[in-house]
Structure 1
Amino acid sequence: MNAIKKIKNSTNKFASNWAKIVIKNKWPVLMFSFLLVIGLGSQGELEFDGDYHVFFSESNPELEAFDALQEKYTKDDNVIMVLSPSNKDVFTKLNLTAIEDLTAQSWNTPYSSRVDAITNFQHTSAHGDDLYVDDLSYNSLNKSEAEINKIKEIALKEPMLVNRIVNEEGSVTAINITVRLPGEDSAKEVPEVTKYVRDMVSNFKSKYPHFDVHISGMVPLNTAFFEASMKDMGLTGIMILIVIITTFLLTRSIQSTLTTLVVVMFSIISTLGFVGLTGIKLTPPSSVFPTMVLTLAVADSIHIIITMLQKMRKDGLNKNEALIESMRLNFMPVFITSLTTVIGFLTMNFGDVPPFWDLGNITAFGMAMAFLFSTTTLPALMAILPIKVKSKIKENEPVYYFNWYSELARFVIKQPIKLSIISFLAIGFLTYLASKNTFNDEFINYFDESVEFRTDTDYISENLTGVYNVEYSIGSGESGGINNPNYLNKLNEFENWLKQQPEVVHVNAFSEVARRINKSMNGDDERFYKIPSTREEAAQYLLLYELSLPFGLDLNNQINVDKSETRVTVTVKNLDSPQMIEFSKRGEQWLRDNTPTEMHAIGVSPMLMFSKLGFRQADSMLKGNIIALILISLVLMIALRNFKLGMLSIIPNVAPVLIGFGIWALYKAQINTGMVIVFGMTLGIIVDDTVHFMSKFLRAKREYGYNANQAVEYAFETVGQALITTTVVLLAGFAVLSTSSFALNSYMARITVVIIISALIIDFILLPSLLILTNKEKKKVKKKYTSFFFFR
């Protein structure tokens, strides 16, 4: 065949004319692309933000409540170092001396405001009418064994210490450094603290090698976020190598591989420029954009290249004819795919997690650039490069070769009803399973066990104290009201109720301080280990105690300025999101049922914020997903010029997501915030398969006059290889991302892999079956290829 098929509509004419213009002006087009990339790329200055606050929008009510609590008291970003001596006994001269040494060094941590350790715990005692407040242990090396044993006895009976600073056995202890980060530049402040702490711990272990040290806290959490971002950015290099190998194996063309690589690199570099121009700071979720753009950009290029090579090999067209024909056949499908993918990613802006807004906007821009380069740079470069393929068409000689895609088409054509029923039953069952997934946004589980922060935090949870907490700011309704015995007794009741809850590890409440001071002021008599009987007594004791506390160890972290509210911090076991939310609500309900109105409070904490994040994200994304589905369906209706097929496309576009979450229910049955965006993100990707198959189906009916069965077979023959190729590349990209140590990214990638495979199966089985069943008509022409082999 020497001539290109007659063009029947303006879209085809535009695509062909566009291709001809690009081929004719290939060098100027290539130069313009290069200059555009250089111009954008020169603006690509990347900044990273590892602060956990970036996961919450400014209007997030949990964040507002948490910030309000920190304004009343002190900010409590922290580093907790847990020390485990090899002899499993903290209370020896050498070990206490080592703890004293590390505690002293900890005060020099940048931005530190407080250091809590077993040695500097402010122990109260009374001598006559005098109250003495001293470090529990100091100059430990010179103490006698009797004094050491006394320190141990006091520490292991002290509610403020046990399961918070030291475990019940006295084998593990902690040093907690509270830091007040200015918040002006977290990219500088957090690494500064981290570097000091790591160097300090390294020197400590060199001096005291019999100690193991495990580090956790909010600052290490921020560091883990930052390091996860950097590591995931590094996956791009691996993906580029995979794309090169995969593209070459599937196209068997060095030129095609080189051209695809150029389009990919141009798209990524341009997107880097967009990030720099918009001033977006990268976070763990948004840092994966290079892999996203790379993977999706390959899909655009592959369709054009595969069709071009097919036309040269099977139809005997020369390079430029094949390139023009490929652009004619693929321009509109590639445009629709790019547009729907952009729509899908932009719907992330409906969510409540700013890093995913950034990921959506960055990737949407990258997809727009990928479409531009795949319809300009790609044909220009292919026109320049020498491409020769071995044609399978010889003059006056029939050619026999097996076509797997034709056989699959005939398999579907023979039994569309049966395949449709089986498909819908499977989809229905997996949709039911999908409803069994539950949300769980434990921030500890955001990291796998290859991350030191995760293993250290798990160790701390198992051996000393929980790392999750819930905080309540309990008001008294008046200035100085925290000294009112009625208030203190109710606070004490709340403290006791909390300690009885099975999830609770430790409770830190001002009522404990009041009881302890009262006992000390009454000759350390255990009978007075209770709330003072009068307001005057409570106020006097508190004043005397505060005057005795050293700088940095005051009660500002528990009492607000006018002494009208106190802070209750409840440390709990590692609970999943629903359990954390339920526990917080249970505490709030107890306060409503048992205390006056002024003492009612809501539970807040970073852990609670993360627990509610997935639910909030799901609620806010629902509207976005519905809008995306409607817009994409309208785009397909307009592009395909067929209302029925536009409506039909909803099935193969939605079903893969339902299947993906159904299979996920069998795998983990828990989803996190990162997975909530999967519907909007993959919707555009799934459309790639659907729109290319449908466009070829319609082209066969409109241009060749084929009936439904013949059109389905034509679609398989012309687009089957390209769909397989793009699916393999997409799978490779998301499989690489699934190795991320950061669960928001790896879980998202893993379920996307399942969805992409499901989309291909549905578009090869269910979609053609539905096209046949909804397009019943008489056979118009006899198709050229009707046997197990092709004859030309």
Structure 2
Amino acid sequence: MAKWFSVGFWEAIARIILRNRIFILSLIALFTVFMAIQWKNMRFTYTEANLLPDHHEVNEEYKHFLDKFGEEGNLIIIGVQDTTFFSSKSFEAWTKMMETLKTDKAVEFVVSVESLQKLQKNQEDETFEMVPLFDPKKEKNDTYLAEIEKELFENLVFYENLLYNKKTGTIRSAIYIDKEIVNTQARKTFIDEVLIPEIKLFEEKTGIDLRVSGMPYIRTLNSQNIIDEIGLFVLAALLITSLIFFFFFRSYRATFISMCVVIIGVMWAFGTLGLLGFEITVLTAIIPPLIIVIGIPNCIFLINKYQQEIKNHGNQAKSLQRVISKVGNATLMTNLTTAAGFATFIITDSELLTEFGIVASLNIVLLFILCLLVIPIIYSFMPLPKEKHLKHLNKTYTKTFVNWIEKTVKEKSISIYISVVVLLVASIIGIYQIRISGSLIEDMPKKTDFFRDIVFFENEFDGVMPLEIMIDTKRKKGVMKLSTLRKMDELQETISEIPELSAPSSIVNLVKYSKQTYYNNNPEYYELPTAQEQGFIMTYAKNATKGGKENLMKSYVDSTGQYARITTFMKDIGTDKMVKIEEKLWDKINKVFPPDQYKVTLTGKALVFQKGTSYLVDNLILSLLFAIFLISLFMAYLFRSFKMILVSLLPNILPLLITAGMMGYLGVPIKPSTILVFSIAFGISVDDTIHFLAKYRQELKANNWKIRKSVFNALRETGVSMFYTSIVLFFGFSVFMISSFGGTVALGGLVSATLLFAMLSNLLLLPALLLSLEKTIANEQAFIEPKIDILAEDTIENELNDK
């Protein structure tokens, strides 16, 4: 009954498609136009990927920090390391550039040497005043600039490691972007149309090379790289798959039809992003080329079947009907398993991966429907393929490959098992060498100027990735108590001892500066006041920096005086190092700040990303197990045999283990981009298993349950199509290796390698297992009568054979 329904259902589908060709094509055209209209709703991400769920504790702490101090990723830094900087010509150009930037509405305020404010004691009013470093009455000639340079480097200790590096002479300026626009299109407009042109103008005037960094700048240029690569990926995927397709089929017509189908699929993918309102991120950007790579194998199966039928009997109507009725079911199941591999990301509770999983899995199913409709309909309007178009069906290189596979399975099954065991042991050893990386910048393009600038600032100022410590004193104005300041100073000393972190800054630095100012700017007094000094120095300090954009106090302490922040920057380090740094910081925090008096939070974008990576790695196993479970259900529904589920899973799990071992040996870390590999590759590689076992079951019944004969018949029948599709997928995913993003390169290379291993595993290990388990499988009646007949046999032919 189930078999009759399967055959009858797909024959009915074939009749509906072929009898309503114009209507169906019109619907597809209208739907494509509708999806193209949705492109206007596409938007590009303006923030880093938040890999944690919104309700996660780390996210909650970060939001609490933002509520108190606002967006902490709004700093752009411009650095210069040149001995001629303090010359009148260069400094004039620098001043002009900074004045232009300050007046832009996107800028909140600027801390820069030409407009630098310094504290000055006013004994009459018992306060500190902020006065310009430069005397406005004096001419900024070379002599005066030399004096300023000396004062800056020798006396203004407060600004050391903030605005200058005393050892190398590097100067930098801090530009704080308006927090309201830092995560919007306005930020990109400012950087593209104001900041970058001004920097280029300065460099042309002076010949001095400026360095630019900071999260808003990095994010803007990185996002632009993502946008630029979408078109590159799509074109490269179309080129490589069309060349391979033409090489196999030697038909311009078949190649053109296939390319049109996948291009429509790409249009639908972009439309889905717009329709659902999802942002284009480094992950969703790879979906359009992914659609091309996955869509071509569908075209290969359908066109190959059509040409085989034409070669057998030359009847076009009959051939098209069989393409739909005999291949449709198998192609549906393989597309569902592929979609299931992507759909597993939906359960990760990460918005980034959930959106990726939804769009990818949905469009894979839509692509199957598109292929099944368009290819038979288009061919129904065309003349029959010529003899030259069918020559590829008898290519000698494919026959040679299949013969080698058959001979190896037949004569060297022991060698296959030994090779599997050796690979398995080596892979397990490699897996133990895998490291986890949670770096914000590791996947960024290494050859870009902005990445080289990141490295520059890491060397000069120990990093650009913000790490924040928020201290809740649990009482108003508790921050300015001397006991609290001393505890913060003790923690800052620990931070300074960690090589991967930059010199910290907080209200402590400002109080130390106040004491230095009180003692006539003597650098030796840059320290916290004693208990005796506290009264009169803090009286001065409380009135310092009141009001105005240059109010440094508000950057370090909230308006109630209850919360303080300590800001440091971290280098590009891995998760393992960050865990050790966290442990060291928490050891100190727990000793210095009693929990009953203080609540201390460790947060910041860099840390949130690190925690997000760890969270995803923890969910990776769950996601992969879910993919295996989901696909096992497909296999159980199709073949009705527990033993066949095990036999089918082993050849597909082995390539995943080999790839994981390779990652360990090659030093490719587990990170958000590479954790996608396993579920994607598993969902795709199991397609070959379904095709092979479906044909094997069909052969088994036709040959009176003779296992050996059925295995080799299935191998000869499906080996060529498995080879074709695997080659397309291998080179298709290799397209991602042209990316400038390290994570995308790793994703492409690892998936390609996994699918190659999977092809060999399905062609060598799977048949060997079937032969080795010959007696037990032959008795599995449930396998012999599956729930769904995947490769539906032609009912007319069966009736003739019965007669």
**TM-score, normalised relative to structure 2:** 0.89
Q: Which residue of 2 aligns with 1:483?
A: 480
2:360 matches 1:350:
no
**1:491–1:407 Cα change, 3 Å:** closer
2:373 matches 1:380:
no
**Contact 2:70–2:179, Cα closer than 8 Å, also in 1:** no
Alpha-carbon distance between aligned partners in 2 of 1:481 and 1:60, rounded to the nearest angstrom: 29
Q: Which residue of 2 aligns with 1:69?
A: 65
| Aligned-residue offset at 1:252 | 1.8
Residue aligned with 1:602, SS: strand
Which of 265, 287, 290 is the aligned partner of 2:288? 290
**Contact 1:515–1:529, Cα closer than 8 Å, also in 2:** yes
Alpha-carbon distance between aligned partners in 2 of 1:203 and 1:335, rounded to the nearest angstrom: 58
| Aligned-residue offset at 1:725 | 1.5
Deviation string 1:189-231 (CA, Å, 9 cap, x unpaired) is 4333442211221222233x32111211111122134213312
Alpha-carbon distance between aligned partners in 2 of 1:364 and 1:120, rounded to the nearest angstrom: 55
Alpha-carbon distance between aligned partners in 2 of 1:143 and 1:11, rounded to the nearest angstrom: 90
Q: Which residue of 2 aligns with 1:789?
A: none
| Aligned-residue offset at 1:560 | 0.8
Residue aligned with 1:124, SS: strand
Q: Which residue of 2 aligns with 1:603?
A: 602
> 5 Å matches for 1:706-785?
707-776=706-775
Q: Which residue of 2 aligns with 1:411?
A: 408
Which of 205, 210, 217 is the aligned partner of 1:213? 210
Q: Which residue of 2 aligns with 1:784?
A: none
Which of 450, 453, 466 is the aligned partner of 2:463? 466
Which of 103, 113, 116 is the aligned partner of 1:118? 113
Alpha-carbon distance between aligned partners in 1 of 2:321 and 2:643, rounded to the nearest angstrom: 30
Alpha-carbon distance between aligned partners in 2 of 1:720 and 1:100, rounded to the nearest angstrom: 71
More moved, 696-705 vs 47-56:
47-56
Q: Which residue of 1 aligns with 2:566?
A: 568
Deviation string 1:171-195 (CA, Å, 9 cap, x unpaired) is 3211111112425972344333442
**1:525–1:79 Cα change, 3 Å:** closer
Look up the equivalent residue of 1:105 and give its one-letter code.
T
Q: Percent identity?
A: 18
**Contact 2:164–2:170, Cα closer than 8 Å, also in 1:** yes
Alpha-carbon distance between aligned partners in 1 of 2:135 and 2:722, rounded to the nearest angstrom: 72
2:517 matches 1:520:
yes
Residue aligned with 1:119, SS: helix
Deviation string 1:520-556 (CA, Å, 9 cap, x unpaired) is 2234456644323345435412223224x75334321
Q: Which residue of 1 aligns with 2:165?
A: 167
Q: Which residue of 2 aligns with 1:266?
A: 264
> 5 Å matches for 1:95-106?
95-106=90-101
Q: Which residue of 1 aligns with 2:14?
A: 19
| Aligned-residue offset at 1:646 | 1.9
Alpha-carbon distance between aligned partners in 1 of 2:656 and 2:289, rounded to the nearest angstrom: 21
Q: Which residue of 2 aligns with 1:240?
A: 238
2:37 matches 1:38:
no
Look up the equivalent residue of 2:100 and give its one-letter code.
Q
**1:141–1:721 Cα change, 3 Å:** farther
Matched pairs, number = 766
**Contact 2:35–2:268, Cα closer than 8 Å, also in 1:** yes
Alpha-carbon distance between aligned partners in 1 of 2:182 and 2:213, rounded to the nearest angstrom: 23
Alpha-carbon distance between aligned partners in 2 of 1:710 and 1:537, rounded to the nearest angstrom: 98
| Aligned-residue offset at 1:382 | 2.1
2:356 matches 1:371:
no
**Contact 1:473–1:567, Cα closer than 8 Å, also in 2:** yes
Q: Which residue of 2 aligns with 1:635?
A: 634
Alpha-carbon distance between aligned partners in 1 of 2:91 and 2:65, rounded to the nearest angstrom: 34
**1:14–1:775 Cα change, 3 Å:** farther
Q: Which residue of 1 aligns with 2:428?
A: 431
**1:566–1:170 Cα change, 3 Å:** same
2:50 matches 1:55:
yes
| Aligned-residue offset at 1:403 | 4.8
**Contact 1:93–1:141, Cα closer than 8 Å, also in 2:** no
**Contact 1:303–1:330, Cα closer than 8 Å, also in 2:** yes
Alpha-carbon distance between aligned partners in 2 of 1:223 and 1:392, rounded to the nearest angstrom: 49
**Contact 2:617–2:670, Cα closer than 8 Å, also in 1:** no
Which of 80, 84, 102 is the aligned partner of 1:84? 80
Deviation string 1:604-659 (CA, Å, 9 cap, x unpaired) is 11111222221111223433322221111111121123332123222122222221
Residue aligned with 1:331, SS: helix
Q: Which residue of 2 aligns with 1:178?
A: 176
**Contact 2:443–2:741, Cα closer than 8 Å, also in 1:** yes
Deviation string 1:77-136 (CA, Å, 9 cap, x unpaired) is 3353434355x3544444444433333222123422121123333322447556443233
What runs of 5+ residues in structure 2 fail to find an aligned partner?
780-803
**Contact 2:545–2:551, Cα closer than 8 Å, also in 1:** no
Q: Which residue of 1 aligns with 2:146?
A: 148
Deviation string 1:702-722 (CA, Å, 9 cap, x unpaired) is 234362222222222221221
Q: Which residue of 1 aligns with 2:704?
A: 705
Look up the equivalent residue of 2:381 and give its one-letter code.
I
Alpha-carbon distance between aligned partners in 2 of 1:779 and 1:525, rounded to the nearest angstrom: 92
Q: Which residue of 1 aligns with 2:675?
A: 676
Q: RMSD of the TM alignment (CA)? A: 3.0
Which of 303, 306, 314 is the aligned partner of 1:305? 303
Alpha-carbon distance between aligned partners in 2 of 1:279 and 1:127, rounded to the nearest angstrom: 57
Residue aligned with 2:441, SS: helix
Alpha-carbon distance between aligned partners in 1 of 2:733 and 2:61, rounded to the nearest angstrom: 37
More moved, 380-389 vs 689-698:
380-389
**1:124–1:21 Cα change, 3 Å:** closer
**Contact 1:588–1:601, Cα closer than 8 Å, also in 2:** no
**Contact 1:50–1:225, Cα closer than 8 Å, also in 2:** no
**Contact 1:50–1:187, Cα closer than 8 Å, also in 2:** no
Residue aligned with 1:762, SS: helix
Q: Which residue of 1 aligns with 2:796?
A: none
Alpha-carbon distance between aligned partners in 1 of 2:186 and 2:310, rounded to the nearest angstrom: 56
Q: Which residue of 2 aligns with 1:652?
A: 651
**1:362–1:146 Cα change, 3 Å:** closer
More moved, 527-536 vs 588-597:
527-536
| Aligned-residue offset at 1:493 | 1.5
Alpha-carbon distance between aligned partners in 1 of 2:553 and 2:542, rounded to the nearest angstrom: 11
Look up the equivalent residue of 1:76 and give its one-letter code.
E
More moved, 614-623 vs 626-635:
614-623
**Contact 1:345–1:680, Cα closer than 8 Å, also in 2:** yes
| Aligned-residue offset at 1:301 | 1.7
Alpha-carbon distance between aligned partners in 1 of 2:397 and 2:769, rounded to the nearest angstrom: 31
Residue aligned with 1:242, SS: helix
**1:525–1:19 Cα change, 3 Å:** closer
**Contact 2:88–2:145, Cα closer than 8 Å, also in 1:** no
Q: Which residue of 2 aligns with 1:333?
A: 330
Look up the equivalent residue of 1:627 and give its one-letter code.
F
More moved, 209-218 vs 525-534:
525-534
| Aligned-residue offset at 1:46 | 4.4
Q: Which residue of 2 aligns with 1:626?
A: 625
**Contact 2:462–2:501, Cα closer than 8 Å, also in 1:** no
Alpha-carbon distance between aligned partners in 2 of 1:93 and 1:238, rounded to the nearest angstrom: 51
Alpha-carbon distance between aligned partners in 1 of 2:117 and 2:182, rounded to the nearest angstrom: 33
Alpha-carbon distance between aligned partners in 1 of 2:4 and 2:428, rounded to the nearest angstrom: 40
**TM-score, normalised relative to structure 1:** 0.90
Alpha-carbon distance between aligned partners in 1 of 2:405 and 2:681, rounded to the nearest angstrom: 26
Alpha-carbon distance between aligned partners in 2 of 1:616 and 1:393, rounded to the nearest angstrom: 52
What runs of 5+ residues in structure 1 fail to find an aligned partner?
1-6, 781-792
